[in-house]
Amino acid sequence: MRIGEIAALVGVTPRAVRHYHQSGLLPEPARRANGYREYGIRDAVLLARVRRLTELGLGLDEVRGVLADDEGRGLAEVLEELAEDLARQEEEIRARRERLSALLDEARAGRLPADGPLSPELTALLAGLGELPESAMAAKDRQILALMDVVVPEEERARLMGLMAGAAEHAREVYPLLDALSGADADDPRVAEAARVLAACLPDELGVDMPSGGPDGAGSSDTSLADALFADLAPAQSAAIHQAMRLVRERREQTR
């Protein structure tokens, strides 16, 4: 048989046969005098086995390992691992479909934010805020939350968003003070008052969990994240936030 004939017989493409040769899964057959490969029944049987194994979901390296074991002792172990992997994929797909279903319900009801999709935790937090006043700092705060929604590990996100929800109740009091610092220098006398009010809104736990890069935390492992969070703030706004976080940390230390 020529390569096209064995490929058609087994139900693969000639390109796949050549790829199996290059990968070492299928030995090169003898060649005719004209240079064409000549395949026999044993080649077809081996090629059919490769096809069956790949259709089960085995990678080429796994197929190679199975074929190398002439007695097939490794096949059961490989198939068990494949079954476990498929079970994990099914669970992940099920969770993703549940998440997608919830998002579809929100979208159809017109409640999906323009910057969605967001995690259920952040969606609930933003819903609790309701309609916010026109505020550049409120818009920035939303951007910061959306970024944290992505970069914070899933196992920590619910806890952190829960802490933020408690602080969000006082957001309307803080935003005007921070908005007023737009364009101001870090030594503006209004910084201390804004920091005091913001610190009073924040739970003690945020003094530990929030990144502390910038003037009060240069060199920390979270500096790059903090730089991204506060890059667009005016010096006075950034100073107020960092002072507030320091006040929260100090308050936490005093209550221990």
- Residue 72's pLDDT band (boundaries 50, 70, 90)? low
Report the b/e string of 20-48 with b at 16+ CB within 10 A. beeeebbeebeeeeeeebebeeebbebbe
E strands in 115-254: none
- Whether residue 215 is predicted with pLDDT greater than 60 in this model: the reply is no
Mean pLDDT of 207-233: 53
- Whether residue 223 is predicted with pLDDT greater than 90 in this model: the reply is no
Distance CA 25, CA 19 (A): 9
Mean pLDDT of 142-148: 76
Where is average pLDDT lowest: 97-111, 113-127, 133-147?
113-127
- Whether residue 19 is predicted with pLDDT greater than 80 in this model: the reply is yes
Q: Which residue has the higher pLDDT, 201 or 192?
A: 192
The pLDDT, as a whole number, for residue 194 is 93
- Whether residue 136 is predicted with pLDDT greater than 80 in this model: the reply is yes
Are 247 and 203 in contact by the 8 Å Cβ rule? The answer is no
Q: DSSP character for 133?
A: P
The pLDDT, as a whole number, for residue 248 is 86
The token pair at 177 is 């003070």
- Whether residue 210 is predicted with pLDDT greater than 70 in this model: the reply is no
Where is average pLDDT lowest: 27-41, 57-71, 191-205?
57-71
Q: Which residue has the higher pLDDT, 88 or 141?
A: 88
pLDDT tens per residue across span 120-135: 777 777 766 666 667 8
The token pair at 202 is 């924040």
The token pair at 138 is 């409120």
Q: Kindly tell me the sign of the dihedral angle through the C-alpha atoms of 104, 109, 110, 111.
A: negative
- Whether residue 114 is predicted with pLDDT greater than 90 in this model: the reply is no
